[in-house]
Structure 1
Amino acid sequence: MKSLKEFTIPFVGLKIGKHHFEYDVEQSFFEHFEYEDFNDVKVHVDLVLEKKSTLLELHFKISGWVNVNCDLTNEPYNQDIENEFDLVVKFGDEYNDENIDLLIVPHGTYEINIQQYIYELIILAVPIKRVHPGVEDGTLDSEILKRLEELSPKLKENKEEDKSEDIDPRWNTLKKLLTDK
């Protein structure tokens, strides 16, 4: 996969200290990754890169929304997302990204590409179960919801009431044995 140039940070020319970067991620970003679960995307990424003499500290903070389909009704809706992530970049003999929040790059590296971290941060911010807000508060009027209600089993309360009415009278005689002691 080809790197997107706007997500490559040349840190070699930066002074020691904090540097701020901002990115606006839209649907075309996910088309680059061939990820098709989102209908539309509008996410703002704030990145603070703190350059130190021997390492780099990156603090990612995202906020925005992704348009996804509800798991129950398949209705599209905007899911608000927020997420944060800290990454430490150290210099070593060879490239190593085995640790989640530590990246080791070879000595002499002059830039770092952050597109994969932003991609994963957004994907992981979306809840596993996607439920339309209208389903939770009862305002969504959908034929799928009506059909689900028709096919859902009755509540336990109704079943317990039915059971109490159908008690065999012979059990009442046995209950008297407990109280006769």
Structure 2
Amino acid sequence: MKPLKAFTIPFVGLKEGKHHFEYDIEQSFFEYFEYEEFNDSNIKVNLVLNKKTTLLELNFKISGTVNVNCDLTNEPYHQSIENELDLVVKFGDEYNDDNIDILIIPHGEYEINVQQYIYELIVLGVPNKLIHPGVEDGTLDSEILKKLEELSPKLTEDQNNKEDIDPRWNTLKKLLTDK
């Protein structure tokens, strides 16, 4: 997968200190990764790169909304997300991203691509179970919910009050009382 140029930061020409980068993430970003869980997205990424003599500190902050389908009703809604990541980039003999918080890149590198970190930060910021807010507070008017209500089994008062006990259990209960 070829890296997107907009997310490549050439750090070799930057002075020591903090540098701010902002990205607006839209649906085309996720199409690049072939991620089709979002209907639409509007996410802001604030990246602060703190360049020091021997390392780089990256602080990612994302906030925004993604349009997703509810897991219960399949109704689309806007899910707000916020997430944050601190990453330390060190220089070493070879590339190593085994540690979540530390990235080691070879000494000769002059730029870093942050698209994968932004992608993972957004995807991991979305809750595992997506429930439309209207389902939780009961205000969602959906055809699916109406159909589920219509097809759900109805319990009458007679069924609730009458205990259907198999007569064989009564015989077994006698064994307990006949001690």
Q: Distance in 2 between matches of 1:66 and 1:84?
A: 16
- Code of the aligned partner of 1:37: E
Residues 17, 73 of structure 1: alpha-carbon distance in 2 compared, 3 angstrom cutoff: same
TM-score (norm: length of structure 1): 0.84
Query: C-alpha offsets along residues 110-144 of structure 1, whole Å, 9 cap, x if unaligned?
Result: 00000000000000011111111111111111121
Match of residue 70 from structure 2: 70
Q: Percent identity?
A: 78
The CA deviation at 1:162 is 2.3
Q: How does 1:81-100 map to 2 (within 5 A)?
A: 81-100=81-100
Q: Give distance in 2, aligned partners of 1:123 and 1:153.
A: 38
CA RMSD of aligned residues (A): 2.4
- Paired residue for 1:12? 12
1:22 & 1:55 partners in 2: Cα distance? Answer: 21
User: Quick one: distance in 2 between partners of 1:151 and 1:11?
Assistant: 61
Match of 2:161 in 1: 162
> Structure 1 residue runs of 4+, over 4 Å off?
151-155
Query: Aligned equivalents of 2:16 and 2:154: distance in 1?
Result: 65
Alignment-mate amino acid for residue 142 of structure 1 = S
Give the whole-Å Cα distance in 1 for the aligned partners of 2:143 and 2:130. Answer: 18
Q: Indicate whether 1:143 and 2:143 are aligned.
A: yes
- Paired residues in the alignment total 168
TM-score normalized by structure 2? 0.85
- Deviation sequence 1:42-94 (CA, Å, 0-9, x none): 00000000011111010000000000111111111111111001101000000
1:10: how far off? 0.3
SS of 2:50's equivalent in the other structure is strand
Structure 1 residue runs of 5 or longer lacking an equivalent are 167-181
Q: Does 1:79 align with 2:71?
A: no
